[in-house]
Structure 1
Amino acid sequence: MNNNLVAIVGPTASGKSNLAVDFAQQYKGEIVSADSRQVYRGITIGAAQITQQEMCGIPHHLLDIADPTTPYSVVLYKKKADATIRAIQKRDNIPLLVGGTGMYIDAVVYNKNYPEVLPNQPLRKKLEHLSTQKLFTRLQSVDFGRSRTIDKNNKRRLIRAIEINEATQKPVQPPQQQPRYRSLLLGIRISKEELHTRIEQRFHAMLSNGHLEEVQRLHDHYHVSWQRIDEIGLNYKWVGQHLQNNITKQEMIEKSITSIKQYAKRQMTWFQKNKDIVWIENYKQAETLIQNYT
């Protein structure tokens, strides 16, 4: 059985999914999603989930597997991802780990084992009223190491890190384990200007494809609370605010696009710290690396 794993990473709207499908067609691959929003059922349009037509018959895994009313932890993701990757390898295919959620990627590639801590709802309600700055300061005081790696603007992750520290009374940062896979990490490099143009165009396409109706359906059909939709973040938060008549449509559009651009910047900050990633600008560069790897 082969032990190969190819990870394709980069910011949102950089073209990871299309590149992965091209590779999978040529190298007998199957795609394992590493996206912390696409993992939820009912979250497709606003998360730019690949369509059946775009999949071109290539198997895609770990999409639409989680209940959107409940946060899905990196611990659960890693268990699912490892089992899926092993199954792909047993079929003598190449698993392609594709996505922009850095914590998911690192957990799988570097075999990081995070503590299993159940949600503490009373603590979460208490922390929810604090600003991200106050949450970050609190995390610094109890786990300085984790505060150096966390996205200090991500309220959900700040709360989770504090929650884990409260339960375990020790640092969140998992110990480095021996990697399970022989991994090749490819990062898509794209100019800031081109990326911002793609983000704007894609968000307007989301609206045309029914993103507002999707969020309303999350609330009505999947029984996802407005507070939980806020926690899902990015454009889902601002569309939810608009559907509650808290902001205008134009404000929703502007805030959504801004939040996605900021998210893309945070993704790049995360990935640029990883010296194992080989950055590519086109398919030919990636093809050469894959050929040498396989």
Structure 2
Amino acid sequence: MFPNPLLIILGPTASGKTKLAVSLADEFNGEIISADSRQIFKGMDIGTGKDLAEYHINGKQIPYHLINIRSAGDKYNVNLFKEDFYHSFQDINQRNRLPILCGGTGMYIHSVLQNYELTAVPRDESLRAKYEGFSREQLQDTLNSYPKKLREQADSSSSKRLIRAIEIAEYLQYNDVKKKERPIINPIVIGLQSDLTTRRDRILARLDLRLKNGLIEEVESLLANGVSLEILTFYGLEYKFVASYLVGDIDFVSLKERLGIAICQFAKRQMTFFRKMEKDGVQINWLNADDQFSMLKSKAIQLINSKFDNEK
């Protein structure tokens, strides 16, 4: 095997990433590193789709990392993820096992592939408050007022990311960001995609199952244990909408309908980010998530073996 290999399995929510990653870990003596911004939190199991039972295969447990490493209510960001990722990555490699990064948080995955130092730029709450009510056009104009070298890697796809780009540009005017030495990763990226109708049906069916299996009770427990409504809203999707239901802002019918729409929209945004990664030079080998699993796995194995053979 070539030095510092990394298998990446990415795709939108409900595309079957974990099942494929676990099966490939079994095939290639691998361990899984989660690239999910919410699975790091303890007690957030149903809403984040941890599906820990899936890590048991052929009578053995596939090791996983970066799941249940923080308490619900804590803050986490892409820079903390990078530190945790490289710690796990080097540990797995040193034991001659294959690291498999699996998840749908594109920003986390992209930060590893590009080793983007600017994730270390700290938050500036006063700056964020200043620009909170600005339109995207106003934010873009503000960003454009900075020297080009301070905004070369800016993501202008949303107001939130424009504010972050301004935050970075402002910081870089007066500070340097030290580059950390990282191992040079040899990645192969496999993406799972499906047609829109199938993806929507899968998302809504999974939402039904989660509501029946205790999603509402999970959010109730988080509130009872001191996780604030504000934080649950920040965590978004399932936690935001169920919390709204529990405090009486929406009824159950609205919860189910609005949450289903929001998750489908989220999946679309995930795919948009993955396409942006491709424009930035990341080669994603797309497979059809709707194929029979045996065929899907076989295609993935062929891609991995081809990568390994070419790098020998």
After TM superposition, the score normalised by the length of structure 1 is 0.86
For the pair 1:262 / 2:265, whether they are aligned, the reply is yes
Instruction: Tell me if structure 2 keeps the 8 A contact 1:109–1:179.
Output: no
Q: CA deviation at 1:66?
A: 2.3
Which residue number in structure 2 is paired with residue 277 of structure 1?
Answer: 284
Instruction: Tell me if structure 2 keeps the 8 A contact 1:135–1:159.
Output: no
Which residue number in structure 1 is paired with residue 143 of structure 2?
Answer: 143
Q: In structure 2, what is the Cα distance between the partners aligned to 1:239 and 1:170?
A: 43
Q: CA deviation at 1:213?
A: 1.3
Which residue number in structure 2 is paired with residue 54 of structure 1?
Answer: 54
What is the number of equivalent residue pairs in this alignment?
284
Amino acid of the structure 2 residue aligned with 1:205: L
Amino acid of the structure 1 residue aligned with 2:42: R
Which residue number in structure 2 is paired with residue 227 of structure 1?
Answer: 230
Q: Which runs of 5+ in 2 are unaligned?
A: 145-150, 289-295
In angstroms, what is the RMSD of aligned CA positions?
2.8
- Deviating more after overlay: 19-28 vs 283-292: 283-292
Change in 2 beyond 3 A, CA 1:147/1:184:
closer
Change in 2 beyond 3 A, CA 1:151/1:234:
farther
Within-5 A mapping of 1:166-205: 166-169=170-173, 180-205=184-209
Q: Which runs of 5+ in 1 are unaligned?
A: none
Change in 2 beyond 3 A, CA 1:256/1:147:
farther
Instruction: Tell me if structure 2 keeps the 8 A contact 1:16–1:188.
Output: yes
Instruction: Tell me if structure 2 keeps the 8 A contact 1:8–1:97.
Output: yes
1:240 counterpart (228, 234, 243):
243
Which residue number in structure 2 is paired with residue 109 of structure 1?
Answer: 113
Which has the higher Rg, Structure 1 or Structure 2?
Answer: 2
1:208 counterpart (206, 209, 212):
212
Within-5 A mapping of 1:84-99: 84-99=88-103
Which residue number in structure 2 is paired with residue 19 of structure 1?
Answer: 20
How big is each residue's C-alpha offset from its partner over 1:242-268, in whole Å with a ceiling of 9 and x where there is no partner?
Answer: 111011111111111111101100111
Percent identical residues: 37
After TM superposition, the score normalised by the length of structure 2 is 0.82
Q: CA deviation at 1:218?
A: 1.6
Instruction: Tell me if structure 2 keeps the 8 A contact 1:234–1:256.
Output: yes
Secondary structure in 2 matching 1:22:
helix
How big is each residue's C-alpha offset from its partner over 1:217-244, in whole Å with a ceiling of 9 and x where there is no partner?
Answer: 22221x2211111111112111111111
Q: In structure 2, what is the Cα distance between the partners aligned to 1:203 and 1:135?
A: 33
Change in 2 beyond 3 A, CA 1:121/1:207:
same
Instruction: Tell me if structure 1 keeps the 8 A contact 2:154–2:165.
Output: no
